């Protein structure tokens, strides 16, 4: 006979569990077809009376009353959520800026020569620098937007910097972002910047480590376990 409260095995024809004192019934015994309980850490199978996992050593006593169903199946709690803090996100951002800087520098290198054939005019004279600067600025904005929006809405849910730091972006339910939501998150960073960077610093002290643009777009930055 098995206790429906703690899962401990007890002799037949007893009324109360010797481990936790719960009342026993004949229906407490698990059916022969029920799967054995699994460890919440490694998912290894264990005996109902075990207090520690025989595979990884994790404590099974941490399961609260009701951790075992009447059928003897162990309840596995939802996975722990680890929110990414400010400094980890900051280092990831630096890596991203280096990657974007390399791409935009290569773009300037390969497109600078072609712009000479269509110069703008200033006071009747060709103004190559102004046209090149304008094109470079627009290209940098587009590249940066697509870099963050495409990668954060991809199957990896992370930019290269976030991948390097083991981070990824989700919505508030833990789902993958759509391209539209990822774009909204990126452009919301403008508002975070308009607050004298306080919007970015909010990732260090808000409950879910959200920056202002995360709150606006309804996103979370999590640590991949």
Q: Would you list the domain boundaries of the chain?
A: 1-77, 86-223
Calculate what percentage of the chain has a pLDDT beyond 70: 59
Q: Enumerate residues 6+ apart whose C-beta is below 8 A from 97.
A: none
Sequence-separated contacts (24+) of 15-23 with Cβ below 8 Å: 20/65
pLDDT along the chain (225 residues), means of 10: 65 69 57 58 70 69 46 56 93 95 82 49 50 70 94 96 96 94 96 93 94 96 91
The Cα–Cα gap between 9 and 19 comes to: 9
Nearest alpha-carbon partner for 61 in 120, 129, 139, 5: 5
Handedness of CA 120, 126, 129, 130 (dihedral sign): negative
Query: Residues 8, 49: contact at Cβ < 8 Å?
Result: yes
List the structure tokens of 189.
Answer: 């960073």
Residue 152 backbone class (left: φ over 0; alpha: ψ -120 to 50; beta: rest): alpha
| 11, two tokens | 């002799």
Alpha helix positions (H), the chain? 86-111, 128-152, 160-165, 179-194, 198-201, 212-217
DSSP 114: G
- pLDDT tens digits, one per residue of 111-130: 654 444 445 544 445 554 55
The pLDDT score that the predictor gives to residue 107 is 77
The rounded distance, in Å, linking the Cα atoms of 19 and 31 is 21
**How many Å apart are CA 160 and CA 185, to the nearest integer?**
17
Specify the pLDDT at position 17. 73
Distance CA 179, CA 148 (A): 10
Whether the model pTM is above 0.75:
no
H and E: helices and strands count for the chain: 6, 4
CA angle, 123 as apex, 120 and 124 as ends, to 5°? 65
Q: In the prediction, which pLDDT does 59 show? A: 67
């Amino acid at each position: 006979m098995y206790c429906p409260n703690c899962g401990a095995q007890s002799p037949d024809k007893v009324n109360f569990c010797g481990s936790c004192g719960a009342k026993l019934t004949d229906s407490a015994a698990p059916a022969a077809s029920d799967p054995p309980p699994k460890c919440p850490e490694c998912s290894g199978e264990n005996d109902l009376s075990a207090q520690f996992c025989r595979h990884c050593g994790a404590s099974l006593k941490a399961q609260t009353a009701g951790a075992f169903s009447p059928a003897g199946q162990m309840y596995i709690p939802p996975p722990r959520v680890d929110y990414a803090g400010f400094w980890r996100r900051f280092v990831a951002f630096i890596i991203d800026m280096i990657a974007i800087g390399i791409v935009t520098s290569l773009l300037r290198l390969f497109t600078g020569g072609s712009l000479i054939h269509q110069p703008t005019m200033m006071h009747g004279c060709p103004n190559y620098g102004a046209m090149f600067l304008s094109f470079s600025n627009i290209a940098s904005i587009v590249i940066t937007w697509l870099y963050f929006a495409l990668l954060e809405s991809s199957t990896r849910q992370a930019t290269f910097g976030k991948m390097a730091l083991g981070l990824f972006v989700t919505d508030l339910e833990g789902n993958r972002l759509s391209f539209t939501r990822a774009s909204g998150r990126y452009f919301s960073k403008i508002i975070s910047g308009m607050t004298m960077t306080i919007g970015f610093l909010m990732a260090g002290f808000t409950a879910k480590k959200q920056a202002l643009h995360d709150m606006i777009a309804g996103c979370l930055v999590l640590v991949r376990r």
